[in-house]
Amino acid sequence: MTRVLLTGGSGFIAAHVLESLLTRGHSVVTTVRSQEKADKIKQAYPDLGKDKLDFAIVEDIAQEGAFDKAVISDPPFESVIHTASPFHFNITDTKKDLIDPAVIGTTGILKAIKKSAPTVKHVVITSSFAAILNGSKLPHWPEHTYTEEDWNPITEEQALTNPAEGYRASKTFAERAAWDFVRDEKPNFTISTVNPPMVFGPVVHYLNSLDSLNTSNQRIRDFAQGKAKDGLPNSGVYLWIDVRDLALIHVRQIEVPEAAGKRFFATAGYFSNKEIADAIRNNFPEYKDNLPAADAPGDGDYPNGSTESLHKYDNSRVVKLLDIKFRSIEESVVDLVKSLKAVDPAINLGAIQALNFNKAPVFPNNPISPARLIYLSTNNQLPDLLFHTSILKTPPGPPSHPAARAPQALPGSKPTLPKDRAPTSLPPSNNLTTSPLPMSSWDYIAKLVCIGDSGTGKSSLVIRLCEGRFSPHHDVTIGVEFGSRIVPVGPPNYIAPPKPTLSSRPSSSPRSASADADADVDPDAPADTADPSPEPPGLPTPPVTNPNPKPVVQKHMKLSLWDTAGQETYKSVTRSYFRGASGALLVFDISRRPTFAHVQDWLADLRAIAEADIVVVLVGNKSDLAAGEENKREVTVAEAEEWAARNGVLEYVETSAKSGEGVERAFARVAERIYENIEAG
């Protein structure tokens, strides 16, 4: 039995490493960020005493000296497995927020071990395929075989161009720093590193929910929930490993002396999104209707249906030295879906019938409150609930519910029949600030793509719109992520106010574009003063001009949101997602001028591939950074408006995904213009 320190014990990979260590008879102390996380893990192993499983609280691993106390143990440690890695997406300084914490977190534990844990003989460090790959060559480099000898050639200058490159650099620089530490400090211990690509596989029930998955597993959840029903996205990296195999690779390195001083390229081989979809379809018939047909066109298969154009890989060191046998992609997908259904039965969409929201519905062994149902609806975890945040205004009293109508097809979009549902009222929630509308059918469906440089906040905008929240921590998007939202279009809830002028205020003002837009709207203005291009002010009660008006049935549009990767590496892949889009948000960061300079290239790529009449709105995100004395604005409203007018873009809108200002307006403006185009024929 070996006494092992495992860092980051509540993480997706570390949870499986912990299970593997305990199963193989090792004694473990694992670090967690809070006592609450320790308690959750302890509940999963109630029969183990402190001699088998204990905990150390390390709140922030990027702080100097964070592990000084954690590395001290009685009995003393013999091995350390370091999986913890600091990461957040609210990045203003790539070096300070990404690279430095990663390097400090890795070298910090090595320093602590050398100083206070002389009995430790070997340290295993979780790195990444990001420290091996050459970003400029992905994924088509058929003449090259990746091995442990490869290093990402990224420089610090390249790392500072955007957060995506910064993330890859953080993995590369942190691993190099570990090897440099051993070379320069000559400690009493040896190290080895693990470099996995995409990591799939089951989640542990005591730590996860459907909305807190690791980035790799999110795509499988999304496929099962129907978010790629219109076509599978590009697979991206094409290399993967099951998390249980990865966990065993970590543990075997402390058991096999020959592992010392080596890197391990931990991959099971190639995969494609088509293989993932096939595994779901073949093993879970309840999700068949959520998936595109097996022979449907799309980008989810290998290029030209073959791996011939892809880079090669050599995982022989893992197989031979550590004696690892890899699971199949089908087994990994099946076990993940089963684990998700165990975590939250609400994922079983096929079993959900008409719901009475006047009571808290109960799923077996898992009661779900009305607030939870509203939250699930915004994640597409319940089918097509109509939900609006408080930014939109709802007339008092329940609106009428028209019978479901056949939707009209948009240019480049396939007609999709709405589902008939019984009207049901959503109760207000104490946990969410909402103005809920009843459940309803949608009349139109439109594909919208969010494009722009990495780190501009595209994912945060989609999360804000679909979930009504701001996530300061978000993984870099790889390929594409999905969301959806149903919005009202056309009368009666839509009127045409005068068009606001953003540049009428100083560009340094902390107020957002949407704030000025609301201030300029005069619903009582004469009709001949309104601009012919309507703006969505919300949902005010329309004025009564006819004592016996003809009832106007409100129409709704379902926005299928494609949040695309912004990093240059995936740009060739991202372009394929433009096909069939009816609208686009072209996003830049008002505090980073280079992202504004690049919108010209993004627009050119979009118009070269998408439909000629695609509706485009220019979005300047992070307007909150222009507030206060520390005004970080680098792009003025006037120049953004001028660019939009010169390039034939519908208009310019400023947003803050953090505060929510302007977000509804940006998406609603695109939806309304698409509706106008449909009505105009």
Tens of pLDDT along 489-503? 888 665 444 444 444
- Sorted by where each begins, the domain ranges of the chain are 3-202+240-268+311-326, 352-679
Q: What is the mean pLDDT of the chain?
A: 76
Q: What class does CATH assign to 352-679?
A: alpha beta
- Position 185 confidence tier, pLDDT thresholds 50, 70, 90: very high
* Phi, psi (rounded to 5 degrees) for 573: -75, -45
What's 369-419 look like in SS3?
CHHHHHHHHHCCCCCCCCCCECCCCCCCCCCCCCCCCCCECCCCCCCCCCC
Phi, psi (degrees; rounded to nearest 5) at 310: -85, 160
Q: Residue 8 carries which side chain, given as an amino acid letter?
A: G
Round to whole Å and give the CA distance between 594 and 380: 34
| Model confidence band, residue 396 (pLDDT cutoffs 50, 70, 90) | very low
Q: Is the pTM of this model over 0.75?
A: no
The span from the CA of 179 to the CA of 195, in Å, is 14
pLDDT at 246: 97
User: Which segment of 330-344, 408-422, 586-600 scores lowest on mean pLDDT?
Assistant: 408-422
Higher pLDDT, 514 or 200: 200
Give the DSSP H/E element, type plus range, for residue 243: helix 243-255
Q: Which class is domain 3-202+240-268+311-326?
A: alpha beta
Alpha carbons 477 and 569: distance in angstroms, whole number: 12
Question: What is the pLDDT confidence band of residue 670, given thresholds at 50, 70 and 90?
Answer: very high
User: How far is residue 125's CA from residue 109's CA, in Å, rounded to a whole number?
Assistant: 10
Integer angstrom CA distances of residue 379 from 88, 382, 468, 479, 561: 21, 8, 10, 19, 12
**pLDDT value at position 548?**
56
Q: Give the pLDDT confidence score for residue 344 in this predicted structure.
A: 61
Judged against a pLDDT cut of 80, whether residue 243 lies above it is answered with yes
Between 587 and 98, the higher pLDDT residue: 587
85-94 burial by CB neighbour count: b if 16+ within 10 A, else e? Answer: bbbebbbeeb
Indicate the DSSP class of residue 625. Answer: G
Q: Which amino acid is at 436?
A: P
Share of the chain above pLDDT 70, in %: 71
Average pLDDT of span 387-395: 25
pLDDT at 612: 82
In tens, the pLDDT along 105-144 reads 899 999 999 999 999 999 999 999 999 999 888 778 999 9
Look at residue 342 and tell me whether its pLDDT is greater than 60. Answer: yes
Helix residue spans in 521-646 (DSSP H): 571-575, 593-597, 599-609, 637-646
Q: Which residue has the higher pLDDT, 69 or 365?
A: 69
* pLDDT score of 483: 74
Given a cut of 80, whether residue 441 has pLDDT beyond it is no
Q: Give the three-state DSSP class for 601.
A: helix
- Is pLDDT above 60 for 202? yes
**Helices 100-116 and 163-185 meet at what angle, rounded to 10?**
20
Of the pLDDT bands very low, low, confident and very high (cuts 50, 70, 90), residue 514 is: very low
340-345 average pLDDT score: 71
Q: How many CA atoms are closer than 13 Å to the CA of 188, on its beta-carbon side?
A: 12
Asked whether the CA dihedral 601, 606, 612, 618 is positive or negative, the reply is: negative
Contact predicate 522/660, CB 8 Å? no
Predicted pLDDT at 295: 80
CA pair distance 404, 419, nearest whole angstrom: 8
| Alpha carbon 621 to chain centroid, angstroms | 17
**3 state DSSP class of 588:** strand
pLDDT score, position 481:
64
Residue 484's DSSP bridge partners are 560
Classified as helix, coil or strand, 346 is: helix
User: Residue 349: what pLDDT?
Assistant: 37
**Residue 562 binned pLDDT confidence (cut-offs 50, 70, 90):** confident
Which of the two residues, 354 and 93, has the higher pLDDT score? 93
DSSP letters for 88-101: -S--S-HIIIIIHH
Range in 50-54, 149-153, 525-529, 578-582 with the lowest mean pLDDT: 525-529
Q: Give the mean pLDDT of 545-570.
A: 68
Alpha-helical segments (H) within 484-598: 513-520, 571-575, 593-597
Predicted pLDDT at 237: 87
Q: Let me know: does 444 contact 579? Beta carbons within 8 Å.
A: no
Helices then strands, each counted (H, E), the chain: 19, 20
Average pLDDT of the segment spanning 54-58: 95
Report whether pLDDT(438) > 70.
no
Q: Do domains 3-202+240-268+311-326 and 352-679 have the same CATH topology?
A: yes
Q: What is the mean pLDDT of residues 286-315?
A: 89
Asked if residue 583 has pLDDT above 70, the reply is: yes
